[in-house]
Amino acid sequence: MKTTYAQKVYADAEARAPWEKEFLQAVREVLTSIEPALPDNPQYEANAILERLVEPDRQIKFRVAWVDDAGRTQVNRGYRFEFNNAIGPYKGGLRFHSSVTASILKFLGFEQVFKNSLTGLWMGGGKGGSDFDTHGKSDGEVMRFCQAFMTELYRHIGPDTDVPAGDIGVGGREVGYMYGQYKRIRNEFTGVLTGKGLAFGGSLARTEATGYGLLYYTDEVLKTMMNDSFDGKTVSISGSGNVSIFAAEKTMELGGRVHVLSDSSGYVYDPEGIDLDLIKEIKLVRRGRISDYAKERKGAEYVEGKKVWERPCDIALPCATQNEIEEADAKELIKNGVKLVTEGANMPSTPEAIEAFRSSGVVFGPGKASNAGGVAVSGLEMSQDSQRLAWTFEEVDTRLQGIMKKIVADSLAASNRYGMGNDLLNGANIAGFERVANAMIDQGVY
Ligand code: NDP
């Protein structure tokens, strides 16, 4: 059988860096999805669009030396992958976690290109971070690390060049410290980071945006594709960080029941439904562990070392990290009657898990579409910073709802255009790809 253009590009990427497993996983998913759109559009191959998309514009790696509370110098690695700026400044979060590698940040940066395109806003794609772990560090240590990180990163970014934000391990505290350092070095007050505090250029609803956006997307899928709603549904959510907490909050507002949440040590099950005020107190105020919830809440149970996917649910929202739903987890969910899976995290389902869902008729919404609400509101934060204005919560939230509904509509339109019916995965990849690819062609070879 003749090798297709997409297969050739994938094989070349794999030959170049076979050890970049997560990156290759993301590339394979996108290239497989967009393959049906390629024969009718020979201009993409003629302009080597796929070859250029799988190679970041720029890869920056640097040493981050900082001093801990004991006076010892510590060394971490910092990265920024500037992937593609065909439709706007590079945009994407910074992840601080001990598991961070170049491959993980490359997969996230690659995905970000298509996700940002789907929002309809003017944002290119990038991602960065460090193998620094904030767990167990004092505020002073986190501040000194963030300052050291920005002391190198500042020369590569700017409000019209590259605008980082948060991700795992990077919340309001870390963004604030990095913003302060950028401002000191550059002596300018500009919207160079998003997810900032409300007192210095942040946007209302940014904290809630990824979780809320995931629920707006999921609600729209339920209504338009399944003639259903959240009312009375049991919902499993993994993680207990920024995305999970606000996904849980909106689930409850829409009438669903959240019975589990987790962290990397285990999960809690609450037959009465999760008490979100207690979770917020433990995770956001005390920076505690999910196991604390079971100690403080009557009737709740903590299960060490297991995943939430072993509990029966109607809807699953993976909101922790990549590859957290493996094939066996997917099969367990299917056996227990799950009807819909939409991803809050980036690439939380392995290819085998996605295949299991799709072949069993479980509706599947891919992260690059369903979790795009976070970066969408980051885009709105950039607009407010440029205008030197602050919009109301309602204004931002209304725009977010509109963007998430349009992502569902655009994904379905793209998949139907290429004869694939209502396929949210292939549709999202094609819709995200086309806008970037066409902009690249219009701008000439670079
Ligand atoms: P947080 O750091 O706030 O929370 C991450 C949560 O996931 C924590 O509960 C953490 O537990 C858990 N977790 C992390 N690593 C693992 C692991 N290896 N196994 C099991 N659980 C794990 O991050 P966010 O909520 O911001 O991000 C969560 C996901 O959403 C990520 O995939 C991120 O890329 C994605 N995302 C985030 C956006 C945002 O706006 N923040 C936007 C779009 C996507 P523990 O504390 O034990 O590590």
Q: Cβ contacts of residue 132 below 8 Å, gap of 6+?
A: 64, 76, 96, 98, 145, 149, 169
Tell me the pLDDT band of 325, cut-offs 50, 70 and 90: very high
| Mean residue pLDDT across the chain | 97
CA atoms of 264 and 304, how far apart (whole Å): 9
Check for a shared fold between 56-189 and 209-370.
yes
**Ligand 1 centroid, distance to 104 Cα (angstroms):** 13
Range 10-24 average pLDDT: 98
The closest alpha carbon to 343, from 326, 312, 368, 376, belongs to 368
Calculate ∠ Cα 387-392-395, nearest 5°.
90
CA atoms of 308 and 182, how far apart (whole Å): 40
The closest alpha carbon to 28, from 12, 49, 46, 42, belongs to 12
Range 144-172 average pLDDT: 97
**Ligand 1 centroid, distance to 148 Cα (angstroms):** 23
The CB-side HSE value for 314 (13 A sphere, CA atoms) comes to 16
Q: What is the pLDDT of residues 26-66, one digit of tens each?
A: 999 999 999 999 999 999 999 999 999 999 999 999 999 99
Catalytic positions are 127
- Mutating to test ligand 1, I would choose from 94, 108, 206, 264 the residue with most ligand atoms within 8 A of its C-beta, which is 264
For residue 1, the model assigns a pLDDT of 64
For residue 210, the model assigns a pLDDT of 98
Q: Which atom of ligand 1 is nearest to the CA of 374?
A: 40
SS3 for 39-52, per residue? CCCHHHHHCCHHHH
Q: Which atom of ligand 1 is nearest to the CA of 262?
A: 9
Q: What is the pTM of this model?
A: 0.96
- As a whole-number percent, the residues of the chain with pLDDT over 90 amount to 99
User: Where do the structural domains in the chain lie, given as residue ranges?
Assistant: 1-54, 56-189, 209-370
Cβ 167 under 6 angstroms from ligand 1: yes
**Ligand 1 centroid, distance to 291 Cα (angstroms):** 17
Tell me the pLDDT band of 303, cut-offs 50, 70 and 90: very high
- Mutating to test ligand 1, I would choose from 107, 111, 243, 319 the residue with most ligand atoms within 8 A of its C-beta, which is 243
For residue 320, the model assigns a pLDDT of 98
Cβ 264 under 6 angstroms from ligand 1: yes
Q: What is the pLDDT of residues 334-356, one digit of tens each?
A: 999 999 999 999 999 999 999 99
Q: What is the pLDDT of residues 206-227, one digit of tens each?
A: 999 999 999 999 999 999 999 9
Say if CB 340 and CB 221 are below 8 A apart: yes
Radius of gyration of the chain (CA): 21
Fold of the 56-189 domain: Rossmann fold (3.40.50)
25: left (phi over 0), alpha (psi -120 to 50) or beta: alpha
Query: How many CB atoms are located within 10 Å of the residue 2 CB?
Result: 4
Instruction: Answer yes or no: CATH 3.40.50.720 is held by domain 209-370.
Output: yes
For residue 2, the model assigns a pLDDT of 78
